[in-house]
Structure 1
Amino acid sequence: MSEPAGPSESLAVSTSPTPQGEHDQSHVEGHFESSATVRDIVIGLADGLTVPFALAAGLSGAVASSRIVVVAGLAEIAAGSIAMGLGGYLAARGDAEHYASEKRREELEIVERTRDEEEEVYEIFEQYSVPRANAAPVLEALKQNPTAWVDFMMRFELGLEQPKPGRAPRSALTIATSYVAGGMVPLFPYMLAFENRSALQLSIVITLVALAVFGALKGRIMGTGWLRSATQTLLIGGIAAAAAYLLARLLNGYA
């Protein structure tokens, strides 16, 4: 490991001119910061692709009219998108309320139980193999800034990140819209007035293709590899859709 640069070396580096033909570019790290939005899209699309598909597949064996399948499917999509969106809204509101409650508790503890909170700071640094002597200046700096101290404890003690403002309505809208978009895919063949069996076969194909394409895009955005993500999404979504279809057919058989 190289030794840290001394003052003279630092000065030499900072004052040396940029070589001709080269541009002084700042280091920019490209981290993906919209995982919550992607999660909402995944939830909405996954359910939107499988639930309406199962409904349409089950009705295909019970009724002869594609129009009935479409009407029932659209009704399910409307109800499902509202229910899923409401669930996303309540979940996001719950996260925000939990964060606010824990923050109030931490604000009280750094005042009423200062010694305990100081020890917790040392324990956090010990997890990263930082000695108490090296952590002490950081603790003193945090004590001079109670707001930063609370934020530090929220993140490193409790593992909580402050929810972004407006997260709840955005989550609800994202999930609901994704559900509608996903639900229209398996219904599309029935909207073209195909005979039910042909519509079902085409619905299976385009639903599986949609799952694979969606998985690939998700993997590319998240940086986890498009092929791996596409395969996982196709397998998981395909199994879920097949299970829902078989259950629907079984229930139709007993009806």
Structure 2
Amino acid sequence: MNPTTHSHPHTEQHLRSSAVISDIVIGMSDGLTVPFALAAGLSGAVANSSLVVTAGIAEIVAGSIAMGLGGYLAGRTETDHYESERRREISEVDTMPEREKQEVRDVFASMGLSPALQTAVADELVKDKNQWVDFMMKYELGLDEPDPKRATKSALTIGLSYVVGGLVPLSPYFILTDPSEALAYSCGVTLLCLFIFGYFKSKVTGQPPVSGAFKVLFIGALAAAAAFGVARFISN
């Protein structure tokens, strides 16, 4: 057998968080926590679950729109910033080509290329203006071209994730008329979902999954307990 032949090539597998996963995390974490805290707070002040359901749905609608709008504006800001910097870089290439060419050589110098190779590669690169500008955007400014549909995708992903997360703590109130009884089931279901969500969120972001799960669980429980206590205090 040829010693250089590998029958089982090694394949590296890395778990990478993407923009979509990041948006899901943002929407789901707030969706699970905020409506849960609201439902818990109202359960300490009202006598019927229908009021909790009405207020909870209203909050989910408003929250998903607000969160989605925030995601859209963030995506548009990223795109606008990239386009603005690209226009500035094009202008500098047109008006100060020698200085920009030197900046290309400086980038290659930081990579460890010899002076002769720096000049040769830079001379070849600057023959194509678009490639030249793309190179400067990425390696001088550290900017990658954003997805032109990023803002819309982000808005929809965050908004829908918020709705899905928000319906979890409200689900028992759709079935049970006694808010105190519904709250007990809501706590069990929501805290379980918070733990599972925190586990996978931490796993995706490279954090210790168990400690991350308990951290998310603790934050959600603390918010709900605070809301319940305030509402009970006011109602009394």
Q: TM-score, normalised by structure 2?
A: 0.85
Aligned partners of 1:188 and 1:30: how far apart in 2?
38
SS at match of 2:145: coil
Shift of 1:210: 1.1
Distance 1:198 1:128, change over 3 A: farther
Greater relative contact order (Cα < 8 A, sep 6+): 2
1:201-216 to structure 2, matched below 5 A, reads 201-216=184-199
Aligned to 1:10: none
Shift of 1:98: 0.9
The farther-off stretch of 136-145 and 42-51 is 136-145
1:211-222 to structure 2, matched below 5 A, reads 211-219=194-202, 222=204
Native 8 Å contact 1:53 1:245 kept in 2: no
Native 8 Å contact 1:214 1:230 kept in 2: no
1:10-89 to structure 2, matched below 5 A, reads 35-89=18-72
Please, which runs of 5 or more residues in structure 2 have no aligned partner?
A: none
SS at match of 1:133: helix
Native 8 Å contact 2:191 2:220 kept in 1: no
Aligned partners of 2:128 and 2:16: how far apart in 1?
27
SS at match of 1:224: coil
Aligned partners of 2:113 and 2:149: how far apart in 1?
37
Aligned to 1:229: 209
Structure 2 counterpart of 1:93, one-letter code: R
Aligned partners of 1:132 and 1:118: how far apart in 2?
13
Native 8 Å contact 1:51 1:241 kept in 2: no
Structure 2 counterpart of 1:109, one-letter code: E
Aligned to 1:250: 230
Q: How many residues are paired up?
A: 233
Aligned to 1:155: 138
Q: Report sequence identity in percent.
A: 47
Native 8 Å contact 2:23 2:154 kept in 1: yes
Shift of 1:203: 1.9
Aligned to 1:133: 116
Structure 1 residue 185 corresponds to structure 2 residue 165:
no
Q: TM-score, normalised by structure 1?
A: 0.80
Structure 2 counterpart of 1:231, one-letter code: S
Shift of 1:206: 1.8
Structure 1 residue 114 corresponds to structure 2 residue 92:
no
Native 8 Å contact 2:61 2:163 kept in 1: yes
The farther-off stretch of 43-52 and 157-166 is 157-166
Q: Deviations over 1:187-228 (max 9, x none)?
A: 1122221532232232222222212222333455x3737xx2
Q: Deviations over 1:102-158 (max 9, x none)?
A: 111111111211222123223323333334333222211211111111111111111
Distance 1:125 1:229, change over 3 A: farther
Aligned to 1:8: none
The farther-off stretch of 133-142 and 63-72 is 133-142
